[in-house]
Structure 1
Amino acid sequence: MEENFKMIAKCFFGFEEILEKELRTLGAQDVERGVRMVSFKGDKGFMYKANLSLRTALKILKPIYSFRANNEQALYKGISGVNWSKFLNANQTFVIDSTVHSTYFNHSEFVSQKCKDAIVDQFRERTGQRPSIDKQYPDLRINIHIDKDQVSVALDTSGNSLHQRGYRTATNIAPINEVLAAGILLLSGWDGQSHFLDPMCGSGTFLAEAAMIACNIPANINRKEFAFEKWKDWDNDLFDTIIESLMKKTREFHYTIKGFDKAPSAVSKAKDNIRNANLEDYIKVYEDNFFDTEKETEGKLHIVFNPPYDERLDIHMERFYANIGDTLKKNYPGTNAWFITANLEALKFVGLKPSRKIKLFNGSLEARLVKYEMYEGSKRTKFQV
């Protein structure tokens, strides 16, 4: 029986709680929430499952060693203390990613270089050969994290960031990151139990992520590869078994998922991406200006979108955000509308009181995820007996 080991799932600020919930639902052991990360335990099969399934994880690391170092000699010695031939052959390639929060080490490139020297020297002394560096397609991706004098060494199980789902080949200006989109949908309470609309859908990321959540389709099922596929202990049969069991848990969806965009190029890109994700059965995209539309479906409607908020765009932001508020108020009764913006000034012009405000980051930009509840009739009549 495979033994359980510790793993760390990295995430965006503000997503720790939903990532913890995802891991518990998936069956992880010893789940502990941190800052921009959640640690947990599982076996090799669970490592495959977590990479395939987690919607809000950016990367999953497998820690293998930790030690203290306050100078470059101690760092070199500590890295030399790992038997690297367990993970790598002399004819293979590797790369090191370093993150440093320390007064002893202030340059991540220097740390990566020193660690590389220790690994290469170990192989040269033992075999006369040495593995080489490949930054693009390495056989092994090593993660070094230094906090003060504490050095943590981990193997990167994912490879490229898990936001690279594999379905999005065409993008618009400032597309939203897939992991950020999935996290926003989960924070908004989207569970596939109502109709869904993204009224400014761009290249269709919210639409694709919403459909995958609604149907319980694994987030990274369309991804081309994971780093663990090049490991010495890669088990193709186990991986296929995990995929099979995950696909058995997909579910039917009985509502509509729609996207609007007024730019024909955006609509075309969204359709391409939705086709790449094999989600055309669930999603319809239309060329339309949100401000000219109204609610078409009976019952509850869940709206999530990412309006423009870059002042460089040829848009009068205050008027634009006022239009968002007017359109929601007049044309979309009986909806919960959520959107993310980093333009906190323009947000004031929506003219509606948000029932929730959540602080998030879109890249380096501080943003707010806001919720507006649009009632049928006035709010007062809703609460009258």
Structure 2
Amino acid sequence: MSLASQIEFLRRLKNARLVNGLAPQAIDSPLVETSSFGSNPGALRMWSYLPPGLPAKAPLVVVLHGCGQSAAGYEFGAGWSTLARRYGFALLMPEQQKANNPQGCFNWFSPEDIRRGHGEAASIRAMVEQMVRAHKLDRKRIFITGLSAGGAMSAVLLATYPEVFSAGAVIAGLPYGVAHNVRQALHAMMSPATHSGPELGDRVRHASDHQGPWPRLSVWHGSADRTVHPGNASQLALQWLDLHGVPAAPSVDGTVDGQARRQWRDADGTVVVESYTIAGMAHGTPLGVADTGERFGAPGPFLLEAGIASSYHIAKFFGLTGRIHLAADAEPARKQERANSTSQSAPNDQFAQHGAGRRGIDVAAVITKALTAAGLIK
């Protein structure tokens, strides 16, 4: 991220407070915490947002943050509450606790957390049930998305509870079942093995008794990602193509906002899998201006200006953008957020944040140190 973007990001979070010493919770965040939501074997925290005037039977979007981020920090950067207000859906944002993972990552590789009815997967499922019951949401329109470890955990939820979700989106994540300990996780991130479609598909089929239909999936990955190898995107798409019984050759191969997008359709013509490759982008969520001319979110660590608004396009893939709930954003702070989000953010890699051998006063290093202390980056 550029120095100017770091300064602007810190300015907007200058009144933040620490939550469990893990990451900043911006005081203007619309998220509200629910302390009790039934079984919580994964010991996660539950944050949510319901736009004003939300109708009955509204959709629900579950959003999982990446490592070193908080629910509010990722929501702020990816712009999900703005999208929820605009298009009228409820927002659920589970949050990892430092006691579970020192880096604030969801444990997408831990056997006790990626099984149906166990650990973090079961906690998130309980949160979904709490939201649906408490706010009378539409069980047929529940979706999930996440970045990095949150993306990999989104794949876990889609695999272990496929009957719950209509569709999902994984950003810079990995397929389900490719790792069951830290060593395997690091190997899969840096040098993913090549598996066949049936082998990958079986890992999902064995995760539950579900026989289909399967959730639709949108895959996003930067071509220059050195944290999670882009090969994982291909393997993830292949996993879900096998589940849907769709040939590996894409139905449509084109571009959106200058970025490569492949789509696979089933026999009925429905797009069941799509995959975006963001040219030259490192590890993070791609940001840009949506088709509507609006900008959702703001650049920050692992929230990268890429000329394409991933959150908006994911909401569109979920089928949520057809009807406007609120024609204009009612919160001045969010208007200012979009106005202040025009600065360019260079490709960012978590291993490139720490300079070596610097001398004298290095402003960028001071800001990086502050971001690290806040838990925004490692």
Scaled by the length of structure 2, the TM-score of the pair is 0.30
Higher relative contact order (CA 8 A, sep 6+): 2
- Structure with higher Rg: it is 1
